[in-house]
Amino acid sequence: MLDSYAVIGNPVSHSKSPLIHTAFAQQTNQAMQYVALLAPLDGFEATVQDFRQRGGKGLNVTVPFKLEAYQLATRLTERAGIAQAVNTLKFENDEILGDNTDGIGLVRDIECNLAIPLAGKRILLMGAGGAAQGVILPLLQQQPALLAIANRTPEKAAALWKQFNTYGNISAGDFLYFADEHFDIIINATSASLHNALPELPASIFAQAALAYDMMYRQEPIPFLKFARQHGAQQIADGIGMLVEQAAESFFIWRNVRPQTKPVIAKLKSLV
């Protein structure tokens, strides 16, 4: 029987993960299968345990189950513990290892694929939900000059400041709080793009930005990226590269083999 993996979520049919992991498996000659697994909103744990009992080796976890996966894991990596969210489960004997590869996926996409080093840079991270929380530590580990966290509800940004300020130079506020500052890299980790909305950012903030990055990917243009480009951002990128890079890290955790990401990113882009 082939080793079996899946992405679990609700909804999940739109997920690109089966395509990505199948491409990785072919490229690296791994005998495995990878499918999409829909879990009822109140049935995450039961669906995981059933998959495991049928011999499943590992899962990617997507919306809305990353917190439940964090709670289900019997052992956590440091980065998953700090993010308080899990996107990768690995089943080993009686243990469920929980990891979070989102942050490293973002860092690799920016540094390796877009060739923009993060060290010494001034970064603005927009959003203070689960998506933002998962990438803060990996961003700080690259030693930016500043990581500013801006959120519509500033109290949530302040709570993240409290949680992470010992790991690097962070500041927190609402979007207007940073209006007069300049940033090299501006990352949208809000869920605004999901709803085709644009966070209310001052346009002037993009004047000196080398990169505006949206962690979402979708077929239609993303309002945030369009706005950033119009107001001076030199380069824009959506979350396709991050998606493939986080998948590659999960693949490595499961198979101990590192796939090449560039051809898979190119393939996904050609499908959009």
Three-state secondary-structure class, residue 206: helix
Nearer to ligand ATR, 81 or 129 (CB): 129
**Which residues are near ligand ATR by CB under 6 A?**
127-132, 151-153, 156, 190-192, 197, 199
Sheet holding 211-214, edge to edge: 170-173, 146-150, 122-126, 185-188, 211-214, 235-237
Q: Give min distance, CB of 102 to ligand ATR, in A.
A: 10
**CA distance linking residue 246 with residue 253, whole number of Å:** 11
Catalytic residue, chosen from 66, 162, 226, 267, is 66
Name the residue type at position 25: A
Nearer to ligand ATR, 142 or 191 (CB): 191
Nearer to ligand ATR, 104 or 132 (CB): 132
Name the residue type at position 166: T
Q: Give min distance, CB of 127 to ligand ATR, in A.
A: 4
Q: Give min distance, CB of 225 to ligand ATR, in A.
A: 15
Nearer to ligand ATR, 216 or 237 (CB): 216
Query: Which residue, judged by CB position, is nearest to ligand ATR in the bound state?
Result: 129
Q: What beta strand segments (E) does the chain contain? A: 3-9, 32-38, 56-61, 75-76, 88-92, 95-99, 122-126, 146-150, 170-173, 185-188, 211-214, 235-237
The DSSP symbol for 95 reads E
For helices 262-271 and 240-255, the axis angle rounded to 10 degrees is 140
In angstroms, how far is CA 99 from the centroid of its own chain? 12
Nearer to ligand ATR, 130 or 259 (CB): 130
Q: Give min distance, CB of 256 to ligand ATR, in A.
A: 30
Q: How many CB atoms lie within 10 A of CB 260?
A: 12
Q: Give min distance, CB of 28 to ligand ATR, in A.
A: 31
Whether 66 is a known active-site residue: answer: yes
In DSSP notation, 63-94 reads: TT-HHHHHHH-SEE-HHHHHHT--SEEEEETT
- Give catalytic residues, as residue numbers: 66
